[in-house]
């Protein structure tokens, strides 16, 4: 399987137990990270000098964080899109960093997508995972990651497109990450019941831009036995995830149900068998014959 994410830490937050589960099962898991996250916040005061506004050293530091997180998840094939440091973090929508010519948001779509096509032809995965068309919550790099993953998968399947990149390959199943509304609301309610202030100050899942209607979710991966590995990987992304953040609070309150389930939306291919709750439970499953 190939996963296309925007910045270091996105892979762990959205797909950490899925990656760990399939890697532990012997599946070849390839992570493509589109930028080094140079424009991210720095949540450790002693490392504040690394921010883009100071020494601009955060990207190099986040490379180390990603490597440490991948060790926790058991992933050995992780790479950045294109040449080293080719695409820079664009920052949040509307920020001046969106206008830098080297930022990912400004990347030529065909050129960036061709790099994804090359990876797909090399790896020849059965499954491709990326974000939906909004990038989950509207970040420019997440939207661009969606675009290059989807267009790259089409280019990879076209025999006439740059044959020097390898033999054409059509990915059988393509998924978008998904966060169902009811699942998030369960976590918010648990935080409030324990005396907290909801999820990042919000008490309704409807106020969060990344949740989607439950009816759109097709697939649920049970990684509850691997939640601690996901939490360890989150801790590795120390500049981005505070040790007392809502992620860890929910894990303490809800146990493995907090961060041990991950959800997806099948957008290309056919669903495999469904469980009693109506979810496909394996990204690689194919429909039963007959």
In contact, 12 and 233? CB cutoff 8 Å: yes
Each domain of the chain, given as residue ranges in start order, spans 2-268
pLDDT in tens, the chain (290 residues): 999 999 999 999 999 999 999 999 999 999 999 999 999 999 999 999 999 999 999 999 999 999 999 999 999 999 999 988 899 999 999 999 999 999 999 999 999 999 999 999 999 999 999 999 999 889 999 999 999 999 999 999 999 999 999 999 999 999 999 999 999 898 888 888 888 877 778 889 888 889 999 999 999 999 999 999 999 999 999 999 999 888 898 898 889 999 999 999 999 999 999 999 999 999 999 997 64
Q: Distance between CA atoms of 14 and 179, rounded to whole angstroms?
A: 9
pLDDT 10s digits, 123-147: 999 999 999 999 988 999 999 999 9
Q: Distance between CA atoms of 124 and 9, rounded to whole angstroms?
A: 25
User: Phi then psi for 88, rounded to 5 degrees?
Assistant: -95, 150
| CA nearest neighbour of 50 among 185, 240, 233, 275 | 240
In CATH, what number does 2-268 get?
3.40.50.10320
């Amino acid at each position: 399987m190939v996963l296309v994410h925007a910045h270091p830490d996105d892979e762990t937050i959205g797909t950490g137990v899925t990656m760990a589960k399939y890697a532990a099962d012997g599946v070849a898991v390839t992570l493509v990270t589109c930028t080094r996250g140079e424009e991210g916040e720095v949540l450790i005061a002693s490392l504040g000098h690394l921010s883009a506004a100071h020494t601009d050293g955060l990207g190099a530091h986040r490379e180390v964080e990603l490597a440490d997180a991948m060790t926790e998840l058991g992933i050995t094939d992780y790479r950045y899109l294109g040449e080293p440091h080719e695409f820079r973090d664009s920052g949040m929508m509307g920020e001046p960093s969106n206008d830098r010519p080297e930022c990912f948001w400004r990347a030529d779509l065909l050129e960036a997508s061709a790099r994804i096509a090359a990876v797909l032809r090399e790896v020849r995965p059965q499954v491709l995972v990326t974000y939906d068309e909004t990038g989950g919550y509207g970040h420019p790099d997440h939207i661009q990651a969606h675009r290059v993953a989807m267009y790259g998968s089409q280019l990879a399947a076209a025999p006439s497109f740059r044959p020097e990149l390898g033999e054409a390959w059509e990915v059988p199943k393509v998924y978008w990450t998904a966060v169902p509304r009811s699942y998030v609301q369960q976590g918010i309610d648990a935080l409030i019941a324990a005396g907290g202030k909801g999820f990042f100050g919000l008490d309704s899942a409807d106020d969060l831009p990344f949740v989607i209607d439950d009816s759109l979710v097709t697939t649920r991966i049970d990684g509850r036995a691997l939640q601690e590995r996901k939490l360890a990987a989150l801790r590795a992304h120390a500049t981005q995830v505070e040790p007392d953040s809502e992620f860890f609070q929910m894990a303490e309150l809800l146990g493995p149900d907090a961060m041990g389930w991950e959800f997806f939306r099948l957008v290309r291919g056919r669903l495999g068998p469904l469980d009693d709750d109506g979810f496909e439970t394996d990204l690689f499953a194919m429909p039963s014959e007959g």
